[in-house]
C-alpha cells in the first residue's frame, strides 16, 4: 500500500468520524425538541413570510457561501415585498442546506433530515437522489424541491429566488443533522 493511498484512506476515515460526531451531537441536542411535537409548518409548508419569487422580478442577487458549519454572510437584510435571488455555493467538505424559514420551521425540518440520513438518502458528502424519491413514510418524499431551500453537495452551486412578504426576523439554516446545533444558522431581517 502506498503512502498516498494510506493518506487518502485516513482522510476519508477522518471525514466520516467528524460527520458521525456532528450527527451524534445534533441528535443528542435536538432529540428532546424533535420529540416535543408534530410537524408545525416545516419544509415547504405554512410560509406566511413569503413565496417563490419570479426571476423577472428579482431586485438584487445575494451570494451566500456555505462552509463546514458556517455561512458567509451571517446576516442579511431585505425589504418586505422584495424579490431576492440567493446564489448559494457549498465550499465545504460535507452536504449542506440553505433553507429560509422561522426557527420553528427549522426544528420541524431537522426531524425530516434525520429521516433522510436513516434511509440513506443523505450521506456526509453525497446526496442519494434515487433514495430521495422513495417514500419516507406517509407518502412523503425528500426530494428537496421546495422554493425556500437548496441542498447541495460539496463544490455545487444552486439558487433560491424568494419574495419576502412581511416584516419579520427569519433564519437561513442548514438542517443536516448536527449542523444547525453547531452554529450553521444566519439571520434575515425583513424590514418595511
Q: Which of 97-101, 163-167, 180-184 has the lowest mean pLDDT?
A: 163-167
pLDDT of residue 46: 54
DSSP 3-state of 183: coil
Main-chain dihedrals φ then ψ at residue 130, nearest 5 degrees: -65, -40
Nine-digit cell at 184? 450553521
pLDDT of residue 84: 98
DSSP of 31-98: HHHHTTS---S-TTS--TTEEEPPGGG--EEEEEEEETTEEESSEEEEETT-EEEEEEEE-SSS-EEE
- Peptide bond between residue 73 and the one before it cis (omega within 30 degrees of 0): yes
Q: Measured between alpha carbons, how far is residue 40 from residues 74, 107, 188 in Å?
A: 25, 9, 20
pLDDT digits (tens, 9 = 90+) for 138-164: 877 778 888 999 999 999 999 999 999
Instruction: Domain ranges for the chain, please list them.
Output: 3-191
Q: Which of 19-33, 106-120, 160-174 has the lowest mean pLDDT?
A: 19-33
Closest to 165 measured CA to CA, from 187, 147, 190, 188: 190
Measured distance CA(127)–CA(142) in Å, rounded: 11
pLDDT for 29 beyond 80: no
Angle at alpha carbon of residue 146, lines to 160 and 74, rounded to 5° = 45
Architecture of domain 3-191: Sandwich (2.60)
Read off the pLDDT of each residue in 23-31 and give the average, rounded to a whole number.
40
pLDDT of residue 136: 67
pLDDT for 28 beyond 50: no
Closest to 89 measured CA to CA, from 112, 107, 106, 73: 73
Sheet holding 60-67, edge to edge: 50-52, 157-164, 83-90, 60-67, 70-72
pLDDT for 87 beyond 80: yes
Element (H, E) at 187: strand 185-191
Q: Which residues, in sequence order, are bridge partners of residue 176? A: none
Amino acid at each position: 500500500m502506498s503512502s498516498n493511498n494510506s493518506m487518502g484512506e485516513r482522510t476519508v476515515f477522518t471525514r466520516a468520524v467528524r460527520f458521525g460526531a456532528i450527527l451524534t451531537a445534533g441528535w443528542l441536542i435536538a432529540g428532546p425538541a424533535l420529540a416535543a411535537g408534530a410537524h408545525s409548518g416545516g419544509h415547504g409548508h405554512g410560509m406566511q413570510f413569503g413565496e417563490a419569487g419570479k426571476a423577472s422580478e428579482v431586485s438584487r442577487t445575494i451570494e451566500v457561501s456555505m462552509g463546514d458549519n458556517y455561512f458567509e454572510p451571517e446576516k442579511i437584510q431585505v425589504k418586505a415585498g422584495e424579490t431576492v435571488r440567493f446564489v448559494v455555493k457549498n465550499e465545504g467538505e460535507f452536504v449542506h442546506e440553505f433553507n429560509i424559514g422561522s426557527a420553528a420551521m427549522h426544528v420541524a425540518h431537522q426531524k425530516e433530515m434525520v429521516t433522510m440520513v436513516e434511509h440513506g438518502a443523505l450521506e456526509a458528502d453525497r446526496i442519494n437522489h434515487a433514495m430521495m424519491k422513495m417514500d419516507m413514510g406517509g407518502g412523503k418524499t425528500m426530494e428537496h424541491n421546495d422554493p425556500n431551500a437548496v441542498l447541495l453537495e460539496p463544490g455545487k452551486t444552486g439558487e433560491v429566488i424568494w419574495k419576502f412578504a412581511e416584516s419579520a426576523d427569519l433564519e437561513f439554516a442548514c438542517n443536516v443533522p448536527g449542523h444547525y446545533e453547531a452554529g450553521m444558522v444566519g439571520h434575515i431581517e425583513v424590514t418595511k
